[in-house]
Amino acid sequence: MQISRRQFAGLTLAAATTATLGVTPSFAGADGRKGSLSGRKGYKVSGTVEVKKDGGTTKVVLKDDYIFDPAKNPPDIKIGFGNGEKYAKGSKIHDALTVKKGAAEFEVPASIDTDKYNELYIYCEQFTVILAVAPLK
């Protein structure tokens, strides 16, 4: 692989910045995509979610501020992806979401390309109802 002088200069500058300031340069997508959950269908759901890639794995992270409506207990809660508030069939990442408050982390199956979706959902699979949406940026 060959790189141009301009690309070499950019890499050299990034390396010099790292050495001088002791920081790691940030590249697009390095921190993952984040969003804030908001409830649907009368559910009170809030908190920050992040979809992050680490090596060869992708993870969905519910941050410390995550809260799922403590007054409600729908059956068959899942996490999945989609666009335009339409769940994409086959984007379910686990068998059951039992966490109602606080931080949690879930590995996304390798068969799901999270880059194709701009929203993360918490939904009831049994009744096909979206309970919360987080637009991802």
Contacts of 75 (CB under 8 A, 6+ apart): 124, 126, 127
The whole-chain average pLDDT of the chain stands at: 84
- Do 45 and 102 share a structural domain? yes
| Domains: count for the chain | 2
C-alpha distances in Å from residue 119, one per residue of 13, 36, 126: 36, 10, 20
DSSP state of 64: T
Question: Do 13 and 46 sit in the same domain of this protein?
Answer: no
Residue numbers of the domain that contains 126: 33-135
135 has pLDDT over 50: yes
Q: Angle at Cα 128 formed by Cα 122 and Cα 65, nearest 5°?
A: 10
**Quick one: pLDDT at residue 18?**
37
Nearby residues of 118 by Cβ (< 8 Å), 6 or more positions away? 83, 135, 136
Beta-bridged to residue 136, according to DSSP, are none
Answer yes or no: do 50 and 83 share one domain: yes
Please determine, for residue 134, whether its predicted confidence score (pLDDT) is greater than 50: yes
Task: Give the pLDDT confidence score for residue 55 in this predicted structure.
Answer: 87
pLDDT in tens, 44-90: 999 999 999 988 899 999 999 999 999 999 999 999 999 999 999 99
